[in-house]
A and B are shown apart, each in its own frame.
Chain A
Amino acid sequence: DQQVKQNSPSLSVQEGRISILNCDYTNSMFDYFLWYKKYPAEGPTFLISISSIKDKNEDGRFTVFLNKSAKHLSLHIVPSQPGDSAVYFCAASVLGGGSQGNLIFGKGTKLSVKP
């Protein structure tokens, strides 16, 4: 039973346009959410996070939106650049430690930004 779902395995976007990557979760206890970017032959790199007390967090071109009632979060990249082409993983956990604090990952969405 997947607790974190990324239903789009791939996404293709034109350079300069907005990329929107989506993530759904089923566990209502999750209160800390993260996005990671992964290039081939490298480990995942932390991008941005959000806790459940917020509904939006912004860092430069990256914004994460959280809709707790829908158990849905999204990552917006504006404007998209060819260097953003990578696999993006959504992850969730419960703040406060213990085994519930372990990150649960989605399967990832491969973003391709075309020049």
Chain B
Amino acid sequence: SAVISQKPSRDICQRGTSLTIQCQVDSQVTMMFWYRQQPGQSLTLIATANQGSEATYESGFVIDKFPISRPNLTFSTLTVSNMSPEDSSIYLCSVRDNWNQPQHFGDGTRLSIL
């Protein structure tokens, strides 16, 4: 399966600031996704990162808060904007080649907002 690298692995940020998380895959992949895992909760899909066009956001997530880029088939970024303590979570990049194949995940970015 593809090797997925996320940067940074963790960060502590001040409220009101923004952080951009990078996801790099070692091979071209069809689909890339961004997930959030809040403490004690399941993985929740934020959006599907579409190459060359705007991401597709799930209910409850908006582009102004979580802008996403995907300039090519191996790279994507997620920005968490105007952060508040409620944004403290693990953010995970995930990839999938087609719908009848399993998804694979990066190790995540552990974000704490003070």
The answer to the question of A65 belonging to the interface, with a C-beta cut-off of 8 Å to chain B, is: no
* Complex-state Cα separation, A51 to B102, whole angstroms: 11
Contact code string B82-114 (vs A, CB < 8 Å = 1, else 0): 000000000010000011101111111010000
CA distance A112 to B16 in the complex (A): 39
B43 interface hit (Cβ, 8 Å): yes
Within 8 A of B (CB), among A92-115: 93, 95-97, 99, 101-103, 105-108
B4 touches A43 (CB 8 A): yes
> Residue A49 contacts which of B48, B102, B106 (CB distance < 8 angstroms)?
B102
Q: Is A25 an interface residue (CB 8 A)?
A: no
* Shortest distance from the beta carbon of B12 to any chain A beta carbon, whole Å: 16
> Taking chain B's interface residues, is the majority helix, strand, or loop, or is none over half, making it mixed?
loop
**Contact B42–A106 (Cβ < 8 Å):** yes
CB-nearest residue of chain A to B100:
A95
Those of B26-79 within 8 Å (CB) of chain A: 33, 40-45, 48, 56, 58
A77 at the interface (CB under 8 A from B): no
Q: Say whether A70 faces chain B, with CB atoms less than 8 Å apart.
A: no
Asked if residues B42 and A46 are in contact (CB atoms below 8 Å), the reply is no
A32, A89, A95, A99: the one within 8 Å of B43 (CB): A89
Given the complex of chains A and B, what is the CA–CA distance between A1 and B4 in angstroms? 31
Contact, CB under 8 Å: A43 / B107: yes
Shortest CB-to-CB span from A88 to chain B, Å, is 12
- A5 to B80 CA separation, bound complex (whole angstroms): 28
Identify 16 new A-B residue pairs, CB closer than 8 A, beyond the known A105-B42, A105-B43, A106-B42.
A42-B108, A43-B105, A43-B107, A43-B108, A45-B105, A46-B103, A93-B99, A95-B99, A95-B100, A102-B33, A102-B45, A102-B48, A102-B58, A103-B45, A107-B40, A107-B41
Residues of A within 8 A of B (CB): 4, 32, 34, 36, 41-46, 49, 51, 89, 91, 93, 95-97, 99, 101-103, 105-108
State the B residues within 8 Å of A (CB). Answer: 1, 4, 33, 40-45, 48, 56, 58, 92, 98-100, 102-108, 110
